[in-house]
Amino acid sequence: MTATLEVVRCGPMVSVQDGGRPGWSRYGIPASGPVDRLAHAVANTLVDRPADAAALEVSDGGLVVVADRAVTLAGASVAIEIDGVELGWSVGVVTVAAGARVSVRPDSGARWGYLAAAGGIAAPSWLGSAATHLVSGLGGGVLGAGDVLPVDGAVLRSELDGGVAEVELSVGGPVRVVLGPQDRHFGDEVVARLRSSPFEVTAQADRMGMRLDGPSLAPADALAIPSEPVVRGSIQVAGDGVPTVLLADHQPTGGYPKIATVISCDLDGLARRRPGAALRFDAVGPDEAVTAARAEAARRRRLLRALASPDRTIGQRLFRRNLIGGADPEV
């Protein structure tokens, strides 16, 4: 069965994203994929989709869709209203009736939200991936009013409905970085400023990167180093001394010096922070960064396995048990 979601209203930077297209940076093509990889994986897993399947990434501008028939949807880091009634959770599943008006926006603790569908959102593929490169529009596509998204193999999974309170996607604590590769161009005082000073997330952010407000990190020299590969999490600093953290749609190469790189397992939490949020950087060595990344990868695997369980909520446990004879001691 194929259902459709018609876009009634759509803010900027709302797009289709799957896990991305790694391996193409050598040809000048960004990997793209979700800005918040964990929230994207959670939304998919909640409706039994692969963690890297295509889902909708929703910015602050929000998204309103209407389904032509009943569908089961999952959200992560979102506030969802059904016909004007807010659901009251930020991570969970809801089955909506045909013709229902579904309004989605990032919740108060996030800058990006994700919406997945049971059965899967069908989207165009480019170089083997539905991940959308926002500037070019290549991939699954940037959404606009009037677009119609097919949900292939749409199935109703009302037994999954409900919020999942135990999933914690909030942020806090310092953001860990590995210094370099051009920290030598900034001088000891500037590097010390990065490590000890507070910074603030600004409203100047998109899928390519986010600018931070704080003390100047102007480099002493090398404002025009030879262009070289950059990675997600690189902290570039231009001549104005303002640091920019590169995100999912970052350019494959760059000529601004990079004072440090955010470690991969702290990037989702950083990208989740809203304008005005304060943060500090904590410099760690490469070995500590690798250990932290491995520990976080294991934690995420455990979380996604738990969310894929058919008994993750009390409602699902009740649904799967025969209570006619009395109370079930396992519930």
pLDDT single digits (tens) 21-36: 999 998 999 999 999 9
Ramachandran assignment for 200, one of left (phi > 0), alpha (psi -120 to 50 degrees), beta (any other): beta
Structural tokens at position 258: 């990079």
Instruction: Clarify whether residues 20 and 113 are in a common domain.
Output: yes
pLDDT at residue 323 tops 80 = no
- In CATH, what number is assigned to the domain containing residue 269? 2.40.100.10
Instruction: Clarify whether residues 54 and 142 are in a common domain.
Output: yes
Instruction: Clarify whether residues 237 and 198 are in a common domain.
Output: yes
Instruction: Clarify whether residues 85 and 183 are in a common domain.
Output: no
Instruction: Clarify whether residues 120 and 246 are in a common domain.
Output: no
Q: How many separate domains does the chain show?
A: 2
Instruction: Clarify whether residues 229 and 144 are in a common domain.
Output: no
Instruction: Clarify whether residues 43 and 156 are in a common domain.
Output: yes
Instruction: Clarify whether residues 88 and 36 are in a common domain.
Output: yes
Domain that holds residue 276: 175-284
Query: What DSSP line would sit under 117-170, residue for residue?
Result: ETT-B----BTTB----TTT--SS-B--TT-EEEETT----GGG-EE-TT----
Cα 247 from Cα 133, distance rounded (Å)? 12
The answer to the question of residue 80 being in a domain is yes
Instruction: Clarify whether residues 124 and 12 are in a common domain.
Output: yes
- Please count the other Cβ atoms lying within 10 Å of the Cβ belonging to residue 81: 15
**8 class by beta-carbon count within 10 Å (0-12 exposed, 13-18 middle, 19+ buried):** middle
Tell me the three state secondary structure of residue 33: coil
> Which pLDDT tens digit goes with each residue over 135-191?
999 999 999 999 999 998 888 999 999 999 778 776 778 999 999 999 988 989 999
Cα 100 from Cα 114, distance rounded (Å)? 19
Instruction: Clarify whether residues 135 and 185 are in a common domain.
Output: no
Give the side-chain half-sphere CA count within 13 A for 161: 12
Indicate the residue among 243, 263, 284 that finishes a domain.
284
pTM for the full predicted model: 0.91
